Amino acid sequence: MSKKKEEQKITKKVNDNEEVIADENTKKSEKKKVKEEVIPPTTEELLATEKDKNLRLFAEFENFRKRTTKERIELFTSANKDIMSTLLPILDNFERSIKANNYGDEDGTVLIYKQLKSELEKKGLKEIEDPIGIELDTDFHEAITNIPAPTDDMKGKIIDVVEKGYLLGNKVIRYAKVVVANKE
């Protein structure tokens, strides 16, 4: 049997669906017409789309290269973070020992301390500047206690440093623990 006869039988059997079958047939024929009417792109259009793809791919690669370079630099600067954090209490103990025993500059303990500190500074470790007398900056300082201000101009400012803070590159690896004067 041909397709037309089959379609006619189907439409005769189901009267309610006649319109649906007819609609489906017209949609199929419209799709075929649309496919036939598609005009192939010109050479200039193809060239423009390929240039656009190439430009986007190049920009994506440049962004990837910049991002990986930045990540690599961050990795190198912060790679020593763990070991530096481990050595900071040792530096503190050296300073306490030197202060408590009144060692001179020629004493062995002082020489070892200076050598250790200079090697760590070569690797990017920096002390946070002495904050006494300045306002509390929570980006670099950690207030551990408040005490009454000795004078009105010291209110809200740092009075004492309990533990020094350190930077590795531009990142804080230990906040300075400070005592702040009450504003009240």
Report the b/e string of 60-84 with b at 16+ CB within 10 A: eeeeeeeeeeeeeeeeeeeebeeeb
Q: Quote the pLDDT of residue 15.
A: 47
Average pLDDT taken over every residue of the chain: 82
Q: What residue type is assigned to position 41 of the chain? A: P
φ, ψ at 130 (rounded to 5°): -60, 115
Confidence of residue 29 (pLDDT cuts 50, 70, 90): low
Q: Quote the pLDDT of residue 30.
A: 54
Residue 144 clears pLDDT 80, i.e. is over it: yes
Confidence of residue 169 (pLDDT cuts 50, 70, 90): confident
Percent of the chain with pLDDT strictly greater than 70: 78
Q: What is the pLDDT of residues 92-132, one digit of tens each?
A: 999 999 999 988 888 898 999 999 999 999 988 999 998 88
Q: In degrees, to the nearest 5, what angle opens at C-alpha 68 toward C-alphas 73 and 54? A: 145
Going along the chain from its start, the domains and CATH numbers come out as 3-29 (no CATH), 80-123 (no CATH), 125-184 (2.30.22.10)
Q: Quote the pLDDT of residue 153.
A: 83
Q: Which of 11-20, 102-111, 122-131, 145-154 has the lowest mean pLDDT?
A: 11-20
